[in-house]
Structure 1
Amino acid sequence: MLLKDKIAVVYGAGGAVGGAVARAFAAEGAVVLLTGRRLPTVEVVAKEIVVAGGSAEAAEVDALDEQAVEAHLRSVVERAGRVDVSFNAVGVPDRTILGTPLAELDVETFLRPVTDYTRSYFLTARAAARRMLPQHSGVIMTVTALPARMGSALNGGYGPASAAKEAMTRDLSAELAPQGIRVVGLRPHGLPETASLRAVHGAKAEASGLSWEQFEQYLAASSHTRRTMRLQELADVAAFMASDRASGMTGTSVNLSMGRLDD
C-alpha cells in the first residue's frame, strides 16, 4: 500500500474531489481525517470508507477559520502523534462569480475567490507545516484548475485564484523542501462528475449556447485523449503524489489536463 499508516487530513472532503481523494488515500492504507463545513456530508464519505475497510474520522471544520483549522490539527497530532499529508480540496461554491464579463464585474465579487481560496490554502498549509517541521517530513497538497495557466472567459476571479495557489505551492516548497516537506498541486481539467463543473456550465450556458452534452463534447474534443478525466484518475494520482514513491516531486502542479495544456 502506498500510504500505509500515514496520517492524512483532507479539507473539503464532502465535495466530489475531496471525497474521491479521501477514499483513494484510505484505500492505500492511510488513516484519513476528513473535514468540511457541513458535518453530515463529510460523515457520509467517512462511513463509506469504513464500510470498505478503511480508517476514517469526520469533523466539522471551516477551512477559512484560522482558529478552527489550528484547533482541529492540534487535536489530530495530540491523538495520532503526527500529520503526514495535508490535502486542501476546499471550494467556493458561488455561482454569482461566474458568467459575468470582467468589465462588468464589481471588485468585491472578483476578489472573493482570490481571497477565499488563498486564505484556505494558506491556513491549512501553514498549520500542517508547523506540525511537519519538527518531524522533517510530510506532504502538503492542493488542487487548482486550468485557468491558472490558460485564459478563459467569464470565470471572474477563479483563474487568478488558481494561479495564486500555484505560486503559493512553489513558494512553500522553496521554504519547506530543505526541511523534508514536499508541496505539490494537482491541476485537472473537465471533471463532469463534479458539481462545480455543472455550476460552470450553468453560469455560462446562456453565453455559450451549449447544452450540457455539447459542453462535455467540447471538453473532450479539446484534450489529446478525446475524453474528459474521471475522478478516480485524479484520486489515484493524488495518492501517488502523497506517497514516498513521488519523493522527487515538489514545488510543482501536476498537469492533469489530458493534454489540453502543454508544459
Structure 2
Amino acid sequence: MLLENKTAVIYGGGGAIGGAMARAFASEGARVFLAGRTPGRLDAVAEDIRREGGLAETAVVDALDEAAVNGWVDSIAAQTGSVDVSVNLISQDALFVPLLDMPVADFGQAMDKLARSFLLTTKAAARHMVKQGSGVILHFGGADATNSTPGLGTVQVGFDLVEAMRRQWACELGPHAVRVISMRTGGIPESMPDVPETAPFRQKMVDATLLKRAATLADVGRVAAFLASEHARTLTSTQVNISCGALVD
C-alpha cells in the first residue's frame, strides 16, 4: 500500500474533493483525520471509509482558529506518532466581481481568510514534519498563470496567493525533507450538483479538455495518494496538472 502506517489530516474533509482524497488515502493504508465545520458531512465520509475497513476520525475545527488548529494537530501527533500528510481544502470566499468594482474591504477580507487558513494549517503540520524529517503538504486548485480570465475577481488572485505560499513553503521546508505540491484540474464536473442548471457548466469543463473527458473524483484521489507517497519523493515546489489537457503547460 502506498500510504501504509501514514497519518493524513484533511481540512474540508467532508466535501467532494476532501472526501475523495480521504477515501483514497485510507484505501492505501493511511489513517485519516477529517476536519471541517459540518459534522454530518464529515461523519458520512468517515463511515464510508470504515465500511471499507479503513481508519478515519473526525473533528469540528475552525481552520482560522490558531489555537484550535494547533491543538487538533498536536493531539493527532501525540496519538499516532507522526503527521505525514496535510491537505487544506477550505473553500475560498469567491467574489466574482471585476477588480475595478471590488470593494476594498471585501477583497481584503477574502484574501485574509485564505492566507490565514493556509498559513495556520501549514504551520501546524510543518512543526511536526520538520521534527520527524519527512512529510507532504498538498494544495488543490493550483493557478493557471497563462490563462487569466476577466471577471474572476478574487478567485484567480486567491489561487495565485496560495501558489506563492506553496513556493515559499517548499523553499523553507525542503532542507527538512518536507515536500509541498499543488494539484490543478481545470474543474471536476462530479463535484458540482447534478441538476439541470449545472449541466452547461459541467459540459463546458469536458469540452475544454484535449482528451474530451474531465478528471473524476476518483482520479483526484488516486493522484493525491501517489503524490503523498514515497513514489513521488522527487516532486516538490511544483504543480501537478491532471486537467486532461484543459490547462496546457
- TM-score normalised by L of structure 2: 0.93
Match of 2:86 in 1: 86
Match of 1:206 in 2: none
Partner SS for 2:190? coil
Post-superposition Cα deviations, 1:120-164, rounded to whole Å, max 9, x if no partner, equal 111111111101111111111111245555212322211111111
Please point out which of 144, 153, 156 is paired with 1:156: 153
Match of 1:176 in 2: 173
Task: Letter of the 2:212 partner, please give it.
Answer: R
Cα distance change on mapping 1:139 and 1:112 into 2, 3 Å: same
Q: What are the ranges of 5 or more consecutive residues in structure 1 without an aligned counterpart?
A: 203-209
Correspondence 1:135 to 2:132 = yes
Q: Note if contact 1:12-1:36 (Cα within 8 Å) is conserved in structure 2.
A: yes
Instruction: Tell me, in whole angstroms, the C-alpha distance in 2 between the residues paired with 1:179 and 1:116.
Output: 28
Q: Percent identity?
A: 41
Post-superposition Cα deviations, 1:68-104, rounded to whole Å, max 9, x if no partner, equal 1001001111111111111111113x56x22x33322
Q: Which moved more, 1:217-226 or 1:15-24?
A: 217-226
Please point out which of 166, 187, 194 is paired with 2:163: 166
Instruction: Tell me, in whole angstroms, the C-alpha distance in 2 between the residues paired with 1:57 and 1:7.
Output: 11
Instruction: Tell me, in whole angstroms, the C-alpha distance in 2 between the residues paired with 1:17 and 1:122.
Output: 20
Displacement of 1:62 in angstroms is 0.8
Q: Which moved more, 1:52-61 or 1:251-260?
A: 251-260
Q: Note if contact 1:11-1:88 (Cα within 8 Å) is conserved in structure 2.
A: yes
Task: Letter of the 2:119 partner, please give it.
Answer: F
Partner SS for 1:43? helix
Q: Note if contact 1:7-1:82 (Cα within 8 Å) is conserved in structure 2.
A: yes
Q: Which moved more, 1:142-151 or 1:122-131?
A: 142-151
Task: Letter of the 1:247 partner, please give it.
Answer: R
Match of 1:58 in 2: 58
Q: Note if contact 1:32-1:57 (Cα within 8 Å) is conserved in structure 2.
A: yes
Task: Letter of the 1:36 partner, please give it.
Answer: G
Q: Note if contact 1:4-1:28 (Cα within 8 Å) is conserved in structure 2.
A: yes
Q: Note if contact 1:111-1:157 (Cα within 8 Å) is conserved in structure 2.
A: no
Q: What are the ranges of 5 or more consecutive residues in structure 2 without an aligned counterpart?
A: none
Instruction: Tell me, in whole angstroms, the C-alpha distance in 2 between the residues paired with 1:46 and 1:211.
Output: 30
Q: Which moved more, 1:244-253 or 1:38-47?
A: 38-47
Correspondence 1:237 to 2:223 = yes
Displacement of 1:12 in angstroms is 0.6
